[in-house]
Amino acid sequence: MDETVAEYIRRTVLKIPRDEIKMMLQKWGFLSEAQLQTLNFHQLKDNISQEVVQLCEENSADIKQAAVLDIIYNHIYQNKRMWSVYHMRKTGEELEYFDLTDFRKKFKRRLQSALKNVTVTFQEYEDNAIWIRVAWGTPHRQPNQYKPSYVVYHPQTPYVFVSASVLKSNLPLLCQALIVASNYHDIREMELRGHSLNSLKDIVFNRYSHNFQTYCPKPQQASTVEPESADLRIINENRGEKERIQRLNQEGFGDGPQPILQFAQYKLETMFKSRPEMDVLDKKEPFRCLVKFSSPHLLESLKSLVPAGMADAPLSPLLTCIPQKARNYFRIRDKKGLPPESFVSP
């Protein structure tokens, strides 16, 4: 077995948390159940990985098999990576039958003809997702297995999710290979990025709950305003206002669970307008700002600003449009010829 392969397997196993190693090796299926029985999972991880490498040596593992183990790890820990979303377009409306073998062949061939040295690995999953791992080399250098790119493609959709490695120069080639293999003619990056792959899918596949007012499975009562006190003499004098605010807030984001995003970024190129009582800046040039919101669960966080009293209800459409527009990067300019309160996002 090649030394570089051995080292790669060793390092991949080291990344795995100790109590998940057995499960992942089983999923991998490269080592037999009998071989797995010989492993002692209660020793130092360093030693576990050495033993795994020895077993792989017995089975003469090559880089192709090692790459599969890497995909399995990244599939389980997909949220550790940052994913970008790409959208592909076709000229005609023909619904072509998707041939996986054909796709794989064309994809691999496109990359190999350009770079000669690439490691391309495919793995299919139950939710119709095809995972592709690409380790990049050059005509003169072996692929760097430690900085691969991952692509997730659902064949019946025009969307591709990419977690590129640091080697961004390979992105154009990757995009080309994707459209060639999938018979699309165009691909562009969307302004949508995040760690939660499933949430990104929810957004582009429209799988989250929208703010539909007509369909409402829950009864129309305000559910989170505090219950009346036991003493009837005590009333919540703002109850009406609180209910109104909650209703408006729900209209913004909808009732159900929100897709998980980690940030939203707005490049503001709008005019600075002073308040009437302040005789300040009324310039002709835009007031250039960059605003970035971050949170472990951004949309839920923004939604909670209104009841917390930190934002007006309804929340700004610049924020509530994030899932509908399937983007979290925006460039905001004033709409020409319209009152300054309206913004346009190109």
Partner 1 sequence: QGSEDPQRTALLLRKAWTLYSVTPLYRFGRGRLRDYARLLGAFIAAERQKGLAVEVGVELDIKVALSSLPELRGSEQDQPAVLVQLSSRSRASPKNSEDKILWSGCFCCVCGDDLSENMPEDFTCLPLFLANGAECYMSVVGNWFQQTFDCVFRRLAISPFNLSWMVAMWTGCKVDKAASAVELVFSVPCLPQPLDISYAIHPEDAKALWDIIQKTPGEITQEEVDVFMDCLYSHFHRHFKIRLSATKLVKVSTAIASAHCDGIVKMLHSQYLSGVLMLLTELAISQIQ
Q: Does 272 sit near partner 1 (CB under 8 A)?
A: yes
Q: Which residues of 213-225 are buried (b: 16+ CB within 10 A; e: fewer)?
A: eeeeeeeeeeeeb
Q: Which of residues 230-269 bind partner 1 (CB under 8 A)?
A: 266, 268
DSSP 208-249: S----SS--SS-SS-SSSPPPPSSTT---TTHHHHHHHHHHH
Q: Does 142 sit near partner 1 (CB under 8 A)?
A: no
- For partner 1, the binding residue among 185, 292, 331, 335 (CB under 8 A) is 292
Choose one: 68-76, 123-131, 237-245, 282-290; the region binding partner 1 (CB under 8 A). 282-290
Q: What is the closest distance, in whole angstroms, from the C-beta atom of residue 98 to partner 1 in the complex?
A: 38
Q: What is the closest distance, in whole angstroms, from the C-beta atom of residue 258 to partner 1 in the complex?
A: 10
Task: Map residues 77-116 to x or -, x wherever contact with partner 1 holds by CB under 8 A.
Answer: ----------------------------------------
- For partner 1, the binding residue among 26, 59, 157, 316 (CB under 8 A) is 316
Q: Does 310 sit near partner 1 (CB under 8 A)?
A: yes
Q: CA 159, 63, 149 angle in degrees (round to 5)?
A: 25
Query: Sheet holding 83-89: strands in order across?
Result: 118-124, 130-138, 141-153, 159-163, 83-89, 186-194
Q: Does 300 sit near partner 1 (CB under 8 A)?
A: yes
Q: CA 325, 328, 330 angle in degrees (round to 5)?
A: 85
Preceding omega of 257 cis (within 30 degrees of 0): no
- For partner 1, the binding residue among 23, 82, 222, 291 (CB under 8 A) is 291
- For partner 1, the binding residue among 23, 216, 222, 281 (CB under 8 A) is 281
- For partner 1, the binding residue among 298, 323, 326, 328 (CB under 8 A) is 298
| Shorter beta-carbon distance to partner 1: residue 198 or 316 | 316
Task: Map residues 320-339 to x or -, x wherever contact with partner 1 holds by CB under 8 A.
Answer: ------------x-------
- For partner 1, the binding residue among 171, 293, 324, 325 (CB under 8 A) is 293
Phi, psi of 312 (to 5 degrees): -80, 150
Q: Does 344 sit near partner 1 (CB under 8 A)?
A: no
Are the CB atoms for 255 and 216 separated by under 8 Å?
yes
Q: Is 113 helix (H, G, I), strand (E, B) or coil?
A: helix
Compute the distance between CA of residue 159 and CA of residue 85 in angstroms, rounded to an integer. Answer: 7
Q: Does 277 sit near partner 1 (CB under 8 A)?
A: no
DSSP 40-84: -TTS-HHHHHHHHHHHHHHTT--HHHHHHHHHHHHHHTGGGS-EE
Question: In terms of Cα–Cα distance, which of 87, 82, 78, 69 is closest to 163?
Answer: 82
Q: Does 128 sit near partner 1 (CB under 8 A)?
A: no
Q: Does 312 sit near partner 1 (CB under 8 A)?
A: yes
Count residues binding partner 1 (CB under 8 A): 42
Choose one: 128-136, 183-191, 229-237, 288-296; the region binding partner 1 (CB under 8 A). 288-296
| Shorter beta-carbon distance to partner 1: residue 76 or 225 | 225
The kind and range of the H/E element at 318 are helix 317-320
DSSP state of 276: T
Q: Does 27 sit near partner 1 (CB under 8 A)?
A: no
Compute the distance between CA of residue 9 and CA of residue 18 in angstroms, rounded to an integer. Answer: 15
DSSP 70-82: HHHHHHHTGGGS-
The residues that touch partner 1, with contacts defined as CB under 8 A, are 266, 268, 270, 272-275, 278, 280-281, 283, 285, 287-298, 300-302, 304-305, 308-312, 314-316, 318-319, 332, 341, 343
